[in-house]
Amino acid sequence: MNGKTKDSFPQTAPDISQLGSRINSPLFDQLRTVLEEGYRVSPRIEYSRCSMEPGWNIKYKKSGRALCTIYPRAGFFTCMISIGKREEAACQLLLPTLTPHLSSSCIKHQLR
């Protein structure tokens, strides 16, 4: 198995507990709590054929706006946070406080 979630669940959508077991990180549980209790949103599990991150992912939306997409992997996860125009200025202020790796990732995604 190469760590990609699609290899583990190729045909049937996994449930959130299966994905949580695969991720196996307390940070995932904490993030879910913040999203589900703080923003009062529910996860949507979807299959993506995106060439960068194909496989099952977890999406959180509020009032039709994407909050984030979580890409589960064996032992870890990646979270892409959606930044809208309203949040852009505040996020620009945070960029200098991020690690160089994270900062370059943010800028890369901003250019798309």
pLDDT (tens digit, 9 = 90+) per residue, 3-61? 555 455 457 899 999 999 999 999 999 999 999 999 999 999 999 887 677 889 999 99
* In contact, 31 and 38? CB cutoff 8 Å: no
Query: Tens of pLDDT along 87-101?
Result: 888 888 888 888 887
Q: In what order do the strands lie in the sheet with 44-48?
A: 44-48, 55-62, 65-73, 76-81
pLDDT tier for residue 109 given thresholds of 50, 70 and 90: low
Q: Give the sign of the dihedral formed by CA 34, CA 87, CA 83, CA 45.
A: positive
